[in-house]
Structure 1
Amino acid sequence: MSFAAPALDGAPAAAGRTPGPRLGGDVAWTVLVSVISFFALLPILALVVISLTPAGEVWAHLISTVLPRAISTTALLMLGVAGVVTAVGVTTAWLVTMCRFPGRRLFDWALLLPLAVPTYIVAYTYVEAMDVTGPIQTTIRAVFGFTSARDYWFPEIRSLPGAVFVMGMVLYPYVYLTTRAMFLMQSACALDVARTLGANPLRLFSSVALPLARPAIAVGVTLAMMECLNDIGAVEHLGVKTLTFSIYDTWLNRGSLAGAAQMATAMLVIVFLLIWLERFARRHQRYHQTSSRYRMLPNYRLTGWKAALAILACSAPIVLGFLVPASVLADVASRRLEQLSAPGFLSAVVNSIGLSLAAVVLTVLTGLLVAYTLRLRRNRLIHTIARFSTIGYAVPGTVLAVGILIPSAAFDNFLDGTMRATFGISTGLLLTGSGAVIVYGYATRFLAVAFGTLESGLQKVSPNLDMASRALGRTAARSLVEIHMPMIKPALATASMLVFVECMKELPATILLRPFNFETLSTTVYAAASQEAFERGAVAALAIVAVGLLPVIFLARTSSSTFRDRKAARRERAGA
């Protein structure tokens, strides 16, 4: 039973909108979200401003030599990865959703395992295994009696195709997750009609299921391509000079912040173009379940060689994307266990955990405020401001770092100049090159992760509680603390875990924003690999992978729960 809450403060309750408790009126909530959005957008605004300043001869050199090659290489890498993740993700999602074969339940969650390993660590392990001095080529020379690498052909992992392979094997779960969810939601009636009309499994997949899943595929592919743009460790180690690497090189090696900002702005245009293309591609695609009765999707039982092919298709990406890198990593780390007690490793662990925990507190609190404000006052202005505040997740870490250092350096210079002129004291660099800037970068980049999780959690809280709280005279702040937060503890825990893991793995922003002689687990691995001594960072890399397994386990448990719920629903309806 629904009821209308009495209007307070002389304002009638708007029809069709959930009235919520007030905390200083609409203006206070709008100001709150606006301030959050300003700080979230500040790096991007600063980047655009600095890119308008002339970069002198450096920019002329970049635009004539570096930029064209970097853009073409980045485009080829993104297109190649898009093709790999689409083929692998869609195929495996269809097999585990629509077919029955030995091991299907295992593959259902094991296909998520590559998400636990960052792309740069996978690149390091494959180079370690497939390089001229690696175990694979060493074995080939020993078995066939070759004396040098010139005596035989072997695929070069340090190349553009090698980067496409490595990233494709790591990033395909983005497409697998979104496409599998879409397959599970597709109407069994539509598939049954196609089967009645004589469509075989291949025709059913290509003509019915695949077109219906296009929106989900577009989302997954866009996420994978954005991860390509964000990566710096893998592309640098594999010798692929993308836009991200060129920004890093222009800033640190060429000493041109303006040139780096201009290249970062060009990359930002590519990111927004990707987002627009993804939304444009599915602008008219709306699919609805027309039957009110729940029906399980039809399953095809595979036997013989068909089952063997399905097992091979599902196991290959798991082996290549997780088992091979994990086994190489475990082997190298097992010979360096003394690093566990080394001061440098322990310091990196403390730094990583400290920064990540600080970022979790700031990011989850900010995301909660934005999501709660959107719940209270769902008008167009606040909705637009809230969405803009979460745009940082689409911005590569390198671009974000450039945009953060510009205002932080300006603030430090202003404060130092003021203190010198007033008190004759030099404050130096307070923000630039500090842990606070790293935490700010993490919070800006991963606010969307916390916001999306918390918004979903708040949507499950009945609006009647808001109305009851308002009728009892509770302020918005008290309602949030006493009612909503206890009810969304699972969402708070999930958001905290996801943000923590993302911060532990983040490399591009950490490299550019960290103080001198300040190492985290990710920068320790990067520094060792840059010096062609990956074994020195193997234990740190293994620690990152262990932490990365947390969201994979969570997703696997969620997947299993969903599967059990579907079976329970089927049994209930069968009994009815």
Structure 2
Amino acid sequence: MKINLLLRSARKHINGWTIASVIGAVVVLLPIFYVLSGLFRSPNENWSNVKQFLLVDYILGSAKLVLFTSFFAGIIGVLLAWLIVCYKFPLRNFYRWALVLPLAIPPYIAAYTYSSMTGYTGIIQSTLRNRFDIVLPPGTIEIMSDRGAIFVLTLFLFPYIFMLTRVFLESQSASFIENARLLGHKPLSVLFRVILPLARPAIIAGIMLVIFEVLGDYGVANYFGVQTVSTAIFQTWFGMYDVQSAMKLAAWLMLGVISLFILERLLRRNRRYGSTTRRSNLLKPQPLKGIAAWGATIFCTVIFVLAFLAPILQLLAWSIRYGSTVLRADFIDLIVNTLKGATIGTAIILLIALLAARAARMFDSPFMQALTRLLSAGYSIPGAIVAIGVLAVFIALDDWLAPLYQVMGKEAGALVLSLSLVMLITGYVIRFMATGYSALEAGYEKLPRAYSEVSRTLGRSSFATFLRVELPLIKGALLSGFVLTFVEIIKELPLTLLLRPFNYNTLSTRAYQYATDERVFDAALPSLLLILIGLVSVLFILKSERK
């Protein structure tokens, strides 16, 4: 009897939707598990040298960037959210959305832009010398160091913390802050005794996003000469041509990411942050006057100028002056390659995400919940780790398919899949599945189940219900998922650098190559195009928030 019940339950939950979801989860998880298996493989001579002489420096470099960037980004993000939510001051409504715009600028683009701006021949020092006859001592404001990396990463990652904290505070009951004010607490007392404890989940979530971005960063750290685990993966792979040692480094980095996940869950264990009242009135910001009001405006303005306006204006000036030098015949190929890879990757991601979201909708079970969470695992894993895992799996596939290649006329040991666009697209799918799935999951959450149930009651099949009822109602979520995923793929640098086919360049890889070749002016135009595309993503985020 029990066996029959299990079989019926299995038949009920196993269909085309769940099978497709399981296949998608396997595609996402196989390279990740392959990387983790590197921890248990016997080391080679290169790994022994890396472990003995370099590994400690790599770990300390990553830890330094993570600690200082998350600390300073947390301070800036929380202070800005506190000012915007709790007080009225000049330009408050503008900065409420404008302070999210730095997310459109990839940090590696900001790195070489600021490096050139603050250099001896940059606009800052040359203006001081030529117009004000002020000569700064060498190295006064040049940022080619670990301090410069922390400065850039802080400025262009703090919006994660700002946005999540602001939305959390605006959406929660205002009674906590209002009661604190009625009890005579001063603004700083309200900040430290009410707002920080109340917004702790949002602050931690934002800090975790910042940490994952820093751990996965390659462009900023490499350009500023900071030794991190991510840069070590590239150096081991391309410098020593040792994929096995690079995989071991990736496995250790991934182990650190998993440890951070576990630590964050333990810190929040048995803690509740829900409101004890049903009141959900929005907080009424208090007007600031005099010096306080202008001080808040100046603080927001300085951050906005440093994190968005200054680099944008500098890139625009360079593009106007030097853009013609990069408008060659292959520039069109750059745009085509960028759009082609992003379009194919986004289409596959949304297809798998749509199947998984529909399966989770149909079968609300612990198994489906776990499956959908596994599909989203790749977003929290640095691109270098995903690239290592994908490359290892594809090399194994080429070895397995070697007899078939020989039948097709290929040479023995030929690498077909490992040198194709398919490998890069697979990396995109694994890395950014969470972006597409989150959008579709949110769309299904807003769709009442009664619509689908009525359609089935009227005799429509599951597939017909999906086409005629559900798909038209979630098309907004589908469009949002497409735009957000498309933009994330276009901006991705480490994974594209590692997995791209030979002679295959995109806007991001070409901009980075120009910068590393000291052709910063030539990098301005492709960088500006990337930022304009990134602005589309940020505007979609702001539009969704308003809704």
TM bucket by the smaller chain? over 0.9
Instruction: Give 3-state SS (helix, strand or coil) of 1:273's partner.
Output: helix
* CA–CA distance in structure 1, aligned partners of residues 87 and 199 of structure 2: 17
Aligned residue for 1:108?
A: 96
Aligned residue for 2:376?
A: 390
Pair 1:254 & 2:231 matched: no
* CA–CA distance in structure 2, aligned partners of residues 55 and 317 of structure 1: 47
* CA–CA distance in structure 2, aligned partners of residues 106 and 516 of structure 1: 45
Any gaps of 5 or more consecutive residues in structure 1? 1-9, 15-21, 563-576
Q: Which stretch shows the higher mean deviation, 114-123 or 188-197?
A: 188-197
**Amino acid aligned to 1:458:** Y
Aligned residue for 1:426?
A: 411
1:131 to 88, 113, 119: 119
Instruction: Give 3-state SS (helix, strand or coil) of 1:308's partner.
Output: helix
- Give how far 1:289 is off: 3.3
- Give how far 1:145 is off: 6.2
* CA–CA distance in structure 2, aligned partners of residues 94 and 423 of structure 1: 65
Checking the alignment, whether the CA contact within 8 Å between 2:172 and 2:282 is kept in structure 1 is no
Task: Provide TM-score, normalisation by structure 2.
Answer: 0.94
- Give how far 1:424 is off: 6.1
C-alpha RMSD over aligned residues:
2.2
Number of matched residues? Answer: 540
Aligned residue for 1:60?
A: 48
Aligned residue for 1:497?
A: 483
* CA–CA distance in structure 2, aligned partners of residues 385 and 473 of structure 1: 30
1:406-425 correspondence runs (5 A): 406-420=392-406, 425=410
Instruction: Give 3-state SS (helix, strand or coil) of 2:417's partner.
Output: coil
1:61-100 correspondence runs (5 A): 61-100=49-88
* CA–CA distance in structure 1, aligned partners of residues 430 and 544 of structure 2: 27
- Give how far 1:267 is off: 0.5
Aligned residue for 2:14?
A: 27
Aligned residue for 1:572?
A: none
Aligned residue for 1:573?
A: none
The 1:386/1:202 distance shift into structure 2, 3 A limit, reads same
* CA–CA distance in structure 1, aligned partners of residues 379 and 129 of structure 2: 46
- Give how far 1:84 is off: 1.2
Checking the alignment, whether the CA contact within 8 Å between 2:144 and 2:225 is kept in structure 1 is yes
Q: Which stretch shows the higher mean deviation, 36-45 or 549-558?
A: 549-558
The 1:550/1:144 distance shift into structure 2, 3 A limit, reads closer
**Amino acid aligned to 1:92:** L
Instruction: Give 3-state SS (helix, strand or coil) of 1:518's partner.
Output: coil
Q: What does the per-residue CA deviation read over 1:61-111, in whole Å, with 9 as the maximum and x for residues that have no partner?
A: 111111100100100100011111111110111111110011110000000
- Give how far 1:408 is off: 0.7
* CA–CA distance in structure 2, aligned partners of residues 296 and 530 of structure 1: 49
Any gaps of 5 or more consecutive residues in structure 2? none
Aligned residue for 1:366?
A: 352
Aligned residue for 1:330?
A: 316
Aligned residue for 1:178?
A: 164
Q: Which stretch shows the higher mean deviation, 124-133 or 338-347?
A: 338-347
Pair 1:240 & 2:229 matched: no
Pair 1:37 & 2:25 matched: yes
The 1:476/1:70 distance shift into structure 2, 3 A limit, reads same
Pair 1:122 & 2:107 matched: no
Aligned residue for 2:174?
A: 188
- Give how far 1:387 is off: 0.8
Checking the alignment, whether the CA contact within 8 Å between 1:398 and 1:509 is kept in structure 2 is yes
Q: Which stretch shows the higher mean deviation, 29-38 or 136-145?
A: 136-145
Aligned residue for 2:286?
A: 300
Task: Provide TM-score, normalisation by structure 1.
Answer: 0.90
* CA–CA distance in structure 2, aligned partners of residues 80 and 415 of structure 1: 47
**Amino acid aligned to 2:52:** S
**Amino acid aligned to 2:49:** H
1:181-330 correspondence runs (5 A): 181-330=167-316
1:482 to 468, 471, 481: 468
Checking the alignment, whether the CA contact within 8 Å between 2:160 and 2:209 is kept in structure 1 is yes
* CA–CA distance in structure 1, aligned partners of residues 351 and 208 of structure 2: 28
Q: Which stretch shows the higher mean deviation, 423-432 or 66-75?
A: 423-432
Q: What does the per-residue CA deviation read over 1:232-262, in whole Å, with 9 as the maximum and x for residues that have no partner?
A: 1111111111110000100110111110000
- Give how far 1:402 is off: 0.7
**Amino acid aligned to 2:496:** T
- Give how far 1:207 is off: 0.6
1:550-565 correspondence runs (5 A): 550-559=536-545, 561=546
Aligned residue for 1:402?
A: 388
Q: What does the per-residue CA deviation read over 1:304-359, in whole Å, with 9 as the maximum and x for residues that have no partner?
A: 11011111221222111111111111111111232574212111100000111111
* CA–CA distance in structure 2, aligned partners of residues 495 and 557 of structure 1: 13
* CA–CA distance in structure 2, aligned partners of residues 212 and 110 of structure 1: 25
* CA–CA distance in structure 1, aligned partners of residues 166 and 365 of structure 2: 33
Q: Which stretch shows the higher mean deviation, 336-345 or 213-222?
A: 336-345
* CA–CA distance in structure 2, aligned partners of residues 465 and 528 of structure 1: 54
* CA–CA distance in structure 2, aligned partners of residues 275 and 425 of structure 1: 45
**Amino acid aligned to 2:77:** G
**Amino acid aligned to 1:27:** I
Checking the alignment, whether the CA contact within 8 Å between 1:340 and 1:346 is kept in structure 2 is no
Aligned residue for 1:357?
A: 343
**Amino acid aligned to 1:101:** F
**Amino acid aligned to 1:280:** L
**Identity fraction in percent:** 33
* CA–CA distance in structure 1, aligned partners of residues 365 and 401 of structure 2: 39
